[in-house]
Amino acid sequence: MSDESKANARIETSASQRRPLSLTVSGTAICAALYAIGSYLTAYIPSPLGVGQFRPAVIVPAFFAVVFGPLPAGIGAALGTLIADSAKHLQLYPGSYLAAVPGNFIGFYLFGRITKRFTWGRFVLASNITLTLANFIVAALYVLVFKIVYLGDPKYLAFSPQALVVFIVGLTIWWFVTMLPFVLIVTPLLIRAAAQAAPAIVPPTVRSHSLRKELPQRLFSLALLGPGIVMIAVGLVTVFTPLGEQLAAPNKVTATLFQWMFLLSGTILTGLGLMLRVRRS
């Protein structure tokens, strides 16, 4: 470990030790409230698969993961999604506490752990890893536990194992693609604004990285371009190789949707990445 890394670690440890419990509790409550409100505002915009919601409000727990740490972000995200889903369905919604709550807690707790020793590189890494993992957990639990085990939904019981995998992966991809640009583009602006407006609540290493240098647009553009190009490639493979026929065997409609989701999602991410590159140059 370099001298600078050791110094940052000591500063971070000291700052975390000085953070009052009241600030951690209030941060958790504010995270939950803001995430619930933001999630509810877009709760009626479904995914192309008919389940799952458009949720740019993930910028809220991502911000709190960096500024307040793993537990406030994880607990705030879990409570926020439960409140929003239950308000939408006018009941304590089982689909939320069986799937969304554990996925959101694990994802944003991990986000806070990865960014605890903050750099923008770690922020980009956390964004990609946690959005992939958390969304996959939510999608898998929602389909397998809530729809099949809890409800016994005949639609999902009729799916073959291959079709279930395609459906879960497709839902994961849709969430990932619609969330990643917001987290990578909007959250850093919120972090910088907080570091300037309320520096006392922002960890020193985060504050120094936020104020000392401009946002690394090259890094962020690559973070969008990489997944985008991979998704386009996978989409083309499923269209022009026997893999597409294998996907179509259990459910042709789902397989076609899966292919287009890869192609369109990849195009969107690639386009956003290229826009950042052009803006930088």
* Mean pLDDT of the 12-36 span: 81
Structure tokens at 158: 């009729």
* pLDDT in the model for residue 231: 80
* pLDDT in the model for residue 266: 85
**Res. 228 pLDDT band, cuts 50 70 90:** confident
* pLDDT in the model for residue 104: 98
Q: What digits encode the pLDDT tens for the residues 126-176?
A: 999 999 999 999 999 999 999 999 999 998 998 888 888 888 988 898 899
* pLDDT in the model for residue 160: 84
Percent of the chain with pLDDT over 90: 46
With a cut of 80, say whether residue 205 has pLDDT above it: yes
What does the alpha-carbon distance between residue 129 and residue 114 come to, in Å, rounded to a whole number? 10
With a cut of 60, say whether residue 87 has pLDDT above it: yes
**Res. 11 pLDDT band, cuts 50 70 90:** very low
* Mean pLDDT of the 186-191 span: 92
Q: What digits encode the pLDDT tens for the residues 55-79?
A: 999 999 999 999 999 999 999 999 9
Q: Highest mean pLDDT range out of 91-105, 169-183, 228-242?
A: 91-105
Least confidently predicted of 22-26, 90-94, 232-236: 232-236
* pLDDT in the model for residue 244: 59
**Res. 248 pLDDT band, cuts 50 70 90:** low
Averaged confidence pLDDT in the chain? 85
* pLDDT in the model for residue 47: 78
Q: Highest mean pLDDT range out of 43-47, 102-106, 168-172?
A: 102-106
Closest CA to 75 of 36, 18, 114, 38: 36
Closest CA to 136 of 181, 184, 170, 113: 170
* pLDDT in the model for residue 16: 47
Measured torsion, CA atoms of residues 245, 246, 248, 254, in degrees rounded to the nearest 10: -130
With a cut of 70, say whether residue 254 has pLDDT above it: no
Percent of the chain with pLDDT over 70: 85
What does the alpha-carbon distance between residue 281 and residue 9 come to, in Å, rounded to a whole number? 34
pTM of the model: 0.82
* pLDDT in the model for residue 243: 57
Residues in the chain: 281
* pLDDT in the model for residue 105: 98
With a cut of 70, say whether residue 5 has pLDDT above it: no
